[in-house]
Amino acid sequence: MKIKSLQAREILDSRGNPTLEVEVIAESKTFLQRKSVKAWSGVPSGASTGDFEAVELRDGNKKRFAGKGVLQAVKNVNETIAPALLDIDVLEQKKIDQKMIELDGTDNKSRLGANAIVGVSMAVARVGAIASGKKLFEYIAELSENDGPILKVSRPFFNVINGGVHAGNKLAFQEFMISPNLGSFQENYRGAAEVYHALKEIIKENFGSGSTLVGDEGGFAPIDFYRESEALDILMQAIQKAGYEKRVDIALDVAASEFFVDGRYNLGFKTKEDDFRTTEEMMEHYLELVEKYPIISLEDPFEQNDFKSFAKLRKILQKKGVQVVGDDLTVSNPQRIKQAIKNKSCNALLLKINQIGTVSEAIEAFKLAQKHNWRVMVSHRSGETPDDFIADFAVGLGAEQIKSGATARGERTVKYNRLLALEKFLK
């Protein structure tokens, strides 16, 4: 079945910013009949982005969407990528992805735009699944040569308090996540939703109804929180109130590069009073938090080039059963991952398809991490669409973990609801 039509258009993401939607039609013809299949993909966008990510192409025209339009990326799909991919077998995912990489010709996909390329890559994978008569997760498993044990749903991490650049409050850390450990995904999902609502009630009681507004990823973003411990203390209260004490773990995405200034970390970067910490002081701070709270995962604790500090913290936390996750450090890029492996910087990878730009490269990143016994957490972005691709992607790969925001906002829950359906199907 060959690609017969490929078209992109500009839509808005969950933050109201422009992004792409890509539609692919594949067709097969015989003497007796003609068959066609169609699928689409929505392209996510990050607010907290690493310097080494594949480049998201924006128009820069300040008179239109404040410069954030993606008409050039749309044009690149329709006028450059589409003609080059017509009549290629839709099942040749690697060939198609490589063709787009060659068309772009840069190391970071800056000519055509990673947002243009990834939209095509995901849509092609979805059409390929339909054409081969498989569910998307089954097709991803085939593409990734996942012939391991029976597939299962990844363990979810739910972002219930937003900070950093994802929220207008004073918290420096970007994500405060909960991860219930209740057995099935269905029970974990329910437990997370109940903790989420208990948290809402506690925040409302303490700070008023105006404090229950949410951030980009659906987590609460009360302006009254200044420090991580304040958020974590109330989160612990919510877990207890919901009846899940000692059955819900906590994960933090620090996104430390966002507040790294002149060799130090400014925990007060969103307030009027600076609070600078050295690398050593941040190290001590993390160890104190891990001792006090049931934290099992720490993401991007240091700035994106500090492989050595990552490694030092990983060595300490590994003994405590806490994973250190690379995101801005590794940007889903096999070359950066190899550097982190060499330095023993992490034991877990955050995997974002749009961070590297194609489904094939994301699979390569997963397999590299898996080969070196890292866990993998498949991730959404702060700017999302109703596309649930990453749910099937995580299950098909066999990724141990996934995060897609809170148990609220449709662009978040669509991923979790898909996982709910996949668990039922797999059982």
* pLDDT tens string 205-217: 999 988 898 988 9
Q: Which two tokens stand for residue 307?
A: 């492989």
* Residue corresponding to tokens 């008023």: 208
Instruction: State mean pLDDT over 332-348.
Output: 97
Strands 323-326 and 348-351: parallel
Q: What percent of the chain has pLDDT over 90?
A: 88
Cα–Cα nearest to 338, from 368, 366, 360: 368
Question: For position 43, which CATH number holds?
Answer: 3.30.390.10
| pLDDT at 48 > cutoff 80 | no
Catalytic residue among 217, 228, 258, 364: 217
* Residue corresponding to tokens 């690493």: 50
Indicate whether 412 belongs to any domain.
yes
Indicate whether 145 belongs to any domain.
no
Q: Which two tokens stand for residue 143?
A: 């593409």
Cα dihedral across residues 286, 290, 293, 298: positive or negative? positive
Based on the structure, what is the number of domains in the chain?
2
CA distance 408 to 411: 8
- Local confidence band at 149 (pLDDT 50, 70, 90 cut-offs): low
Indicate whether 63 belongs to any domain.
yes
The whole-number pLDDT of residue 148 equals 64
CA distance 346 to 340: 7
285-325 pLDDT, tens digit per residue, is 999 999 999 999 999 999 999 999 999 999 999 999 999 99
Which pTM value belongs to this model? Answer: 0.95
Strands 264-266 and 260-261: antiparallel
Q: Which two tokens stand for residue 311?
A: 């490694």
Cα–Cα nearest to 78, from 156, 7, 11: 7
Q: Are residues 259 and 380 in the same domain?
A: yes
Question: For position 173, which CATH number holds?
Answer: 3.20.20.120
The whole-number pLDDT of residue 392 equals 98
Instruction: State mean pLDDT over 66-86.
Output: 98
Look at residues 98, 133, 168 and tell me which one is the last residue of a structural domain: 133
Indicate whether 163 belongs to any domain.
yes
153-172 pLDDT, tens digit per residue, is 999 999 999 988 867 788 99
Indicate whether 142 belongs to any domain.
no
Q: Are residues 22 and 124 in the same domain?
A: yes
217 in active site: yes
Look at residues 133, 168, 192 and tell me which one is the last residue of a structural domain: 133
Residue 109 Cα to chain centre, angstroms: 19
Indicate whether 147 belongs to any domain.
no
- Local confidence band at 276 (pLDDT 50, 70, 90 cut-offs): very high
Q: Are residues 174 and 106 in the same domain?
A: no
Q: Are residues 165 and 123 in the same domain?
A: no
Q: Taking all residues of the chain, what is their mean pLDDT, rounded to a whole number?
A: 95
The whole-number pLDDT of residue 98 equals 98
Cα–Cα nearest to 10, from 53, 64, 81, 85: 64
Q: Are residues 174 and 315 in the same domain?
A: yes
Q: Which two tokens stand for residue 345?
A: 């910087």
Q: Are residues 107 and 186 in the same domain?
A: no
99-116 pLDDT, tens digit per residue, is 999 999 999 999 999 999
Cα–Cα nearest to 154, from 348, 336, 9, 10: 348
| pLDDT at 120 > cutoff 90 | yes
Q: Are residues 233 and 169 in the same domain?
A: yes
Contact call for residues 368 and 345 (beta carbons, < 8 A): no
The whole-number pLDDT of residue 80 equals 98
H-assigned helices in 171-223: 185-207
Q: Are residues 181 and 302 in the same domain?
A: yes
352 in active site: yes
Contact call for residues 164 and 172 (beta carbons, < 8 A): yes
The whole-number pLDDT of residue 209 equals 86
Q: Are residues 95 and 231 in the same domain?
A: no
Q: Are residues 317 and 206 in the same domain?
A: yes
Amino acid at 43: V
Instruction: State mean pLDDT over 229-236.
Output: 96
The whole-number pLDDT of residue 23 equals 98
Instruction: State mean pLDDT over 254-281.
Output: 93
Instruction: State mean pLDDT over 10-30.
Output: 95
Catalytic residue among 109, 200, 352, 415: 352
Q: Which two tokens stand for residue 290?
A: 């891990």
Indicate whether 310 belongs to any domain.
yes
Look at residues 86, 101, 133 and tell me which one is the last residue of a structural domain: 133
Cα–Cα nearest to 281, from 256, 251, 253: 256
The whole-number pLDDT of residue 170 equals 87
Q: Are residues 164 and 118 in the same domain?
A: no
The whole-number pLDDT of residue 188 equals 98
Q: Are residues 312 and 380 in the same domain?
A: yes
| pLDDT at 249 > cutoff 90 | yes
| pLDDT at 271 > cutoff 90 | no
CA distance 360 to 98: 8
Contact call for residues 340 and 330 (beta carbons, < 8 A): yes
Can you give 64-82 as a three-state secondary structure string? Answer: CHHHCCCHHHHHHHHHHHH
Residue 106: give the domain boundaries. Answer: 2-133
The whole-number pLDDT of residue 165 equals 81
DSSP-derived secondary structure letter, 277: E
DSSP-assigned letters across all residues of 65-132:
GGGT--HHHHHIIIIIIHHHHTTSBTT-HHHHHHHHHHHH-SSS-TTT-HHHHHHHHHHHHHHHHHHT
Indicate whether 150 belongs to any domain.
no
